[in-house]
Structure 1
Amino acid sequence: MAARRTHPVRGDRRCGTADRPPGCLSDTAHPGAADPHRPHPAAADVTTNASDALNYTPVLDQSHQNTGIHPEQALVDAGYCSETNLEAAKDRQLTCGTDTFMATGRLGHDEQVPPAPRGRIPKNATFKERMARKLRTKPGRKAYSRRKAIVEPVFGQIMTCQNGRQLLLRGEDGARGEWRLLVACHNLRKIFRHVGSAGLAAAIT
């Protein structure tokens, strides 16, 4: 999971640049969960939320709604890190089987985690300390290192190959519809390259 800032919007009017000038709200585009072997986004959304932290649960829920299955892993950047999401990640692993690896950003002076933690987790460890510890284990480092190869190429391909760096439709609903169309086209291109025209026609019929 990751987010990218697309064009800024003010009310229903599109501002003229891809930067974020003062006084403008910028849409946040989420490609959502992706297949680790073939980066096919399973969810996509555009929001005007000031923080990505508000989108952790909705994007994973949308992925389940679109595919009928819960992802095995969620590789989440530090923009989604909050006490609420860290607690939700623990609950989601128990109820849905989704193992979340969430970057925690900088730790406070009172939140110390060993570079290579071993042994039992301290009973008084906070959710943030537990997640930071999890990411510093060998399995955690290996899992999170794959994020740049799973999530980031999707943004690069949509923005470079499909001219998706700046959305053209006005308003949140228009931007959401355009972004989801771009993501759907990205998936169709990937499927076509994998199965060819015959396989794609068979899947449709």
Structure 2
Amino acid sequence: MLSEAEAIDAAEDGMFGEGRGDDVPVGLRKPSDRLSRLRSCHERLLREADHQRVEQQEKINARIAEEKANGKAKRGRKPKTAEAVVKEEAKANVSDPDSRIMKSRKGYLQGYNAQAVVTADQIILATDVTNQANDVRQLAPMIARTLTMMEAVTGDEAVLGVGLFDAGYWSDENAATETAECEYLIATTKDWKQRKAMRDAPPPRGRIPRDMSARDQMERKLLTQRGRKLYRLRGQTVEPVFGQMKETQGADGFMMRGEQETQGEWNLHCAAHNIKKLHSESVRRGRKGGKWLLN
């Protein structure tokens, strides 16, 4: 027991030197450093508040212009005023200023929003980590990352086919970016509501009317037999991938701090997942052909 304790002590001396391993980080040891970090966090909160005001006012102006052009009020909840969107008690994390408070199924947590584009075979094509809790702004960047990756791998112009997205990615603007090379099926409501609508409503027939709003068109497309069949694939593609990484790789939280460092950690998890998938497929094909492809 004593020899084991000495070995552990020697190993920790090599790792931490004169420190104990639980020392205060360098940037937080001096009062002046802590004050500087607090000021930096406060300045960032003020910048974010100004950005939120400008962004919300642009949304309000765009809605007013659209209603004037159509001659009628737009369907849906009216946007909040520019001041109302600014949080009265905005908070910043001192140890990881890049992270944000985000709502999850288990409540609120301090962290990041991890993104992944997955094929029907559960191979991850593109990844990203952002401190924006909302997924709406992530659709276009993730599609661009996927196209870049596919073109780099194949050497040809990429064609995505059909993209399946949950309701977090829905917006009229995202629906408008659909192309002939990539059709979008984006849920317009939460998954359980989407499933209920598919159970209760019969599949519509005929062509989708062109005078319908973007939201109505998407809802109708999802309710068609083809839309139901395709959207159901989300449950056996991207959702299991996140579940597998959480259960088998411990990817239920990030160990690193900082957006760039967290991105690297997420990329490592996704690369490990892909390697396991490719290994399993290689073994399966080897058994099927009577020979092992991997030794």
Same fold, TM exceeding 0.5?
yes
Superposition pairs of residues 2-151 of structure 1, within 5 angstroms: 10=93, 12-13=95-96, 21=108, 26-32=111-117, 34-36=118-120, 38-68=121-151, 69-89=158-178, 93-94=179-180, 97-105=181-189, 115-151=202-238
Q: CA RMSD in A?
A: 2.6
Q: The residue matched to 1:67 in structure 2 has which SS?
A: helix
Deviation of 1:117 after TM superposition, in Å, equals 1.6
| Deviation per residue, 1:17-74 (Å, 9 max, x gap) | x9654xx653111121x221x2001011111113100000111111111121232110
Extract unaligned runs of 5+ from structure 2. Answer: 1-91, 152-157, 194-200, 287-291
Q: The residue matched to 2:123 in structure 1 has which SS?
A: coil
Once residues 140 and 294 of structure 2 are traced to their aligned partners in structure 1, the CA distance between those partners, rounded to angstroms, is 32
Once residues 66 and 29 of structure 1 are traced to their aligned partners in structure 2, the CA distance between those partners, rounded to angstroms, is 18
2:186 partner letter: M
Contact 1:63/1:70, CA 8 A, preserved across alignment: no
Contact 2:165/2:185, CA 8 A, preserved across alignment: yes
Contact 1:12/1:171, CA 8 A, preserved across alignment: no
In the alignment, what sits opposite 2:84? none
1:103 partner letter: A
Specify which structure has the bigger relative contact order, considering alpha-carbon pairs within 8 angstroms and separated by 6 or more residues: 1
Would you say 1:185 and 2:272 are equivalent positions? yes
Once residues 213 and 107 of structure 2 are traced to their aligned partners in structure 1, the CA distance between those partners, rounded to angstroms, is 35
Change (3 A) 1:121 1:193: closer
Extract unaligned runs of 5+ from structure 1. Answer: 1-8, 108-113
Contact 2:112/2:133, CA 8 A, preserved across alignment: no
2:160 partner letter: P
TM-score, normalised via structure 1 length: 0.77
Aligned length: 176
Q: The residue matched to 1:187 in structure 2 has which SS?
A: helix
Deviation of 1:158 after TM superposition, in Å, equals 0.6
Q: The residue matched to 2:126 in structure 1 has which SS?
A: coil
Would you identify which runs of 4 or more consecutive aligned residues in structure 1 move more than 6 Å? Answer: none
TM-score, normalised via structure 2 length: 0.54
Larger Rg: 2
Bigger mean CA offset, 59-68 vs 129-138? 59-68
Change (3 A) 1:98 1:178: same
Change (3 A) 1:11 1:121: farther
